[in-house]
Chain A
Amino acid sequence: MYQSKLRIITNHLILILGSAFMIAPVWIALASSTHTREYLFQNGLQMWFGGHFLENYGAILFDPAATKGRVTALEMLFNSMVLGLGFAIGKVVISMMAAYAIVYFRFKLAVPLFWVIFATLLLPLEVRIVPSYEVVSSLGLLNTYTGLILPLIASATGTFFFRQFYRSVPDELLEAARLDGAGPLRFFVDILVPLSVTMIAAIFIIMFVVGWNQYLWPLLMTTDDQLYTIVIGIKQVYNSLYEGGQIPQFPKAFALTIMATIPPVLVVVIFQRMFIKGLVETEK
């Protein structure tokens, strides 16, 4: 394909600018997180590293006092990991099963159940959060990972992803399987699941990121700070930037920000191909 020199150069320029636009804020946060708070307060945000990397990150990771309270960032990272993984695994398993039933079976309640599942897309957790809290509490699930994760799984996005995917699976497969005498269970376990591996991986990655990034629900439902996730930790540190009479803890806030960002970004970048495939295949 013919391309003029000029066009190639402008293409690169535009993409470099675009990338810089995406990266700059995080870069500034990273650089600023390695200075002392006094320095930042007097000299503003920094574009280059200072000498306090180990000190700032060390304090955040291991000293509970630095993250105000009883939990260190390390523990928060662990909680985020549990939330991300639990959410992703739960969502994948449950929605794979539900989608299988809806696509591959003719049964009486199929239509009403489909609409029940569809309805969950209409009302995000943000707008039903107090009643959700009451429900979780009356089940005795406050301050448990189960209580944290299950209400988030109630939204059926994953089911639609798998439904979409199963429908693209050729009918001939099922016909062949039936000729071989495979029942519904064997067809699911031996044929459909292996066939969905890429799909599962992709949805898993997407859901891990979504779970990791949850904000309002963990904020409200974890009354015990032992369960704080790192995103909640940021909100807490950010709050204290503007209360109390001290020099704001900008470096700490930035360090937490960086630590909250690295794991999901790594997952997305490393499993890029699978992730993109999943996102593009499923969301349409």
Chain B
Amino acid sequence: MKRVQFGHSPVPYLFVAPQILIILIFFLWPAGQAVYQSFLLEDAFGLSSQFVWFRNFEDVLSSDSWAKSAVFTIVFSFIVAFLSIAISLFLAVRADEIIRGAKSYKTLLMWGYAIAPPVAGLLGSMLFNPLMGDLYILLNSMGFEFNHIQNGNDAAFVVILIAVWKQISVNFIFFLSGLQGIPKSVTEAATLDCKSAERRFWTITFPLLAPTTFFLMVINLTYAFFETFGIIDVSTKGSPGGTTATLVYKVYVDGFLGADMGSSAAQSVILMFMVSILTIFQFRFIERKVHY
């Protein structure tokens, strides 16, 4: 908190009021509704309901398909986070060294931030369309027996590729800024000390970027958890065999397409727990970083 603040006055209440009002109406009310619903068995149209304690949670947690989806979500999220961070870090390091044309490369690599996830999903699914997709044809002509329609791993590859593609820009922007924030004197001293670019990177640059990397890890995990919904919904729709359905996608499929309100609400609540852990983790880290 600031050392210097205004004293008591009604002004702060007026200033937070709009935000709090919107949160009360459009967040707390529906969120409370979701928690309440997770204890109910209710017909789709809301005409009858019974209170069943933890029945919905039991049904969700004991189902194979939920467990599979949870495993996929975690593996998927870490792969997406790792790959998109690694690729953009690599590109950012190279872009940082460039003198001529640096600006153009920066533009060419960062515009993807503006692409909507469903748009990325659409582009990806077109490129992998078995009848006309260039990438599908290319992979198969190279001798891979690539078939994401039937093979779960291949389908996961497609979703991961699209998700990584969409996320490179953001990471790139952060890394490049991070690199450019390293004082020139440090880099110059490093160049004198150590001729190998690779060793220089691992011993000096990377440790300096560690906070950024860690921060991006959290951001990317959150992205892979939630924002990939649009990608999955227009590319694989969770197929084949539910192998590419993330937990958020499953909430949508079971609850909204399947009209099972209780199960969907219970899944939401479980997800809320998982995200709160991630968020608190992120928040504590940010707080610490701000303090020094």
- Give A residues with C-beta under 8 Å from B: 1-3, 7-8, 10-12, 14-15, 18-19, 21-23, 25-26, 28-29, 32, 40-41, 43-45, 93-95, 97-98, 100-107, 109-110, 113, 116-124, 126-132, 134-136, 139, 150-151, 153-156, 159, 164, 166-167, 171, 174-175, 184-185, 209, 212-213, 215-216, 220, 231, 234-235, 238, 250, 253-254, 257, 260-261, 264-265, 267-269, 272, 276, 279-280, 283-284
Within 8 A of A (CB), among B158-208: 165, 168-170, 173-174, 177, 187-188, 191, 197
Please tell me which one of the listed residues B177, B271, B283 contacts residue A280 in the complex, with CB atoms under 8 A apart. B177
| Interface pair A265/B123, CB less than 8 Å apart | no
B72 CB–A CB distance under 8 Å: no
Report the minimal beta-carbon distance from B132 to chain A, rounded to whole angstroms: 4
How many chain-B residues does the 8 Å CB contact rule pick out? 99
Instruction: Find chain A residues with CB under 8 A from B255 CB.
Output: 130
| Majority SS at the chain B contact face | helix
Given A14-B91, A95-B19, A154-B22, 16 other A-B residues pairs in contact with their CB atoms under 8 A = A1-B187, A15-B94, A22-B168, A94-B18, A94-B19, A122-B275, A126-B251, A127-B267, A213-B116, A216-B230, A234-B118, A235-B233, A254-B126, A261-B115, A280-B177, A284-B212
Please tell me which one of the listed residues B6, B90, B110, B268 contacts residue A128 in the complex, with CB atoms under 8 A apart. B268
Please tell me which one of the listed residues A118, A213, A254, A268 contacts residue B283 in the complex, with CB atoms under 8 A apart. A118
Instruction: Find chain B residues with CB under 8 A from A1 CB.
Output: 187-188, 191
| Interface pair A128/B31, CB less than 8 Å apart | yes
| Interface pair A2/B23, CB less than 8 Å apart | no
B286 CB–A CB distance under 8 Å: yes
| Interface pair B271/A127, CB less than 8 Å apart | yes
Q: In the complex, A104→B8 CA distance in Å?
A: 11
Instruction: Find chain A residues with CB under 8 A from B248 CB.
Output: 126-127
| Interface pair B116/A18, CB less than 8 Å apart | no
Chain B 1-41 interface mask (CB, 8 Å, partner A; 1/0): 11111111101110110111011011111110110010000
| Interface pair A104/B5, CB less than 8 Å apart | yes
